[in-house]
Structure 1
């Protein structure tokens, strides 16, 4: 039912089609929120498909019909054309393993229903080119069969769930032109997607976008405080002491002998002083000795 002019809400009565495996309502004018009752698509919630049961439903005849009317009806050729992994593909007489939902290019608003994660047999989910907001369901990794996911050109915010990196079969991923932020989750095959899958999200970072995240900045270690070493203080003290002693000795020595060597009058006065001191000591000692023996 793609490429028509359907408008209004997506009818909740659609959810009664429990055996529906392929829903394509892309390129219409549908609006409002995506109903949460999509989880009632029982056929999409199973990882394995009963091919015999599916064929009996598709080709509108069964063994009871043949036994009743006594003749067989040849099968008609069942061909479908869908957008598969971003490419328009034709499938001839498929076994309907193509569990797919395509609601792209409409005017849906609101959040992606969390109930979508119960469709564990879903192979392709395309909700691109809408006005969806909110965050990607955190448990989207439960859809382990998912091979193609396109949520581009919406207003989806928040971080990319780490569970998305756990889907090993995911070959096509489009999250561009949204309001996602934070680090692109690493691990497994997430590093194989190029930057075009994530561009248009200014606050998104990671190796795919060649943009470092704040946590990737090299850690600047604080400078270690200068170690206070008592031995260094002691060496500085003794060095200053030796310098002061040397300076004192030089000053005292030349302060006394310098004038005596260069000025004759100072030498005479100095010698007279020494003679007086010597005479005084001699007389004092002589008097003391005389008194001692007297």
Structure 2
């Protein structure tokens, strides 16, 4: 439906087309904001909304579009942070160009206010992104817990077995002696 002089808001009902694979609404006169539940279109592989007058933020649900391989949101009036996801950051910056208010990877490394030193419990001036802060602390905590558990289980899995099983312990030290003899 590209280049058809369509106008108005992008209909919310478009997000109920759950099996939709490709959507091209470029070069129209759409205004308003992107539907917040765009992430329901999980099968979407290609999305082109370029050269409209869409404003507002890119909804966080865009991070659910895991099969998206073609994206063009360029030349609109979008603003705010590009939602963080493994998918959206893989696109070239040209997919977002012409949206002067957009920031974040892949356009810029940071958004205004990201570099400010601030107490993590206090939201920043752009409305705060408490969910992102909670996710970062949860990821960090989970990483450290799994690292410690892996170290403990790995260490005791190897050395505990050698400590308890004398036949394995003798075989292991014989193996080390053979290696030492080959080297020297």
Bin the TM-score by the shorter chain: 0.5 to 0.7
From 67, 74, 81, the counterpart of 1:176: 74
**Partner of residue 33, structure 1:** none
8 A Cα contact 1:141 1:165, kept in partner: yes
How much does 1:137 deviate?
Answer: 0.4
- The yes-or-no answer on 1:214 pairing with 2:112 is yes
How much does 1:215 deviate?
Answer: 3.2
Structure 1 pair 220–185 and aligned structure 2 pair: CA distance change class (3 A)? closer
CA distance in 2, matches of 1:215, 1:124: 35
Q: How does 1:1-294 map to 2 (within 5 A)?
A: 103-210=1-108, 212-219=110-117
CA distance in 1, matches of 2:15, 2:29: 20
CA offset digits 1:171-226 (Å, max 9, x no partner): 111000000000000122111011000000001001211253123123168xxxxx
CA distance in 2, matches of 1:137, 1:217: 30
Unaligned runs of 5+ in 2: 120-184
Name the SS of the counterpart of 1:196 in structure 2: helix
CA offset digits 1:28-62 (Å, max 9, x no partner): xxxxxxxxxxxxxxxxxxxxxxxxxxxxxxxxxxx
Structure showing the higher strand proportion among its residues: 1
**Partner of residue 71, structure 1:** none
8 A Cα contact 1:128 1:151, kept in partner: yes
Larger gyration radius, structure 1 or structure 2: 1
Name the SS of the counterpart of 1:117 in structure 2: helix
CA distance in 2, matches of 1:134, 1:200: 17
CA offset digits 1:132-180 (Å, max 9, x no partner): 0001100010011100000000000000011111111111110000000
Report the TM-score when normalising by structure 2. Answer: 0.62
8 A Cα contact 1:166 1:188, kept in partner: no
Name the SS of the counterpart of 1:110 in structure 2: strand
Name the SS of the counterpart of 2:86 in structure 1: coil
Unaligned runs of 5+ in 1: 1-102, 222-294
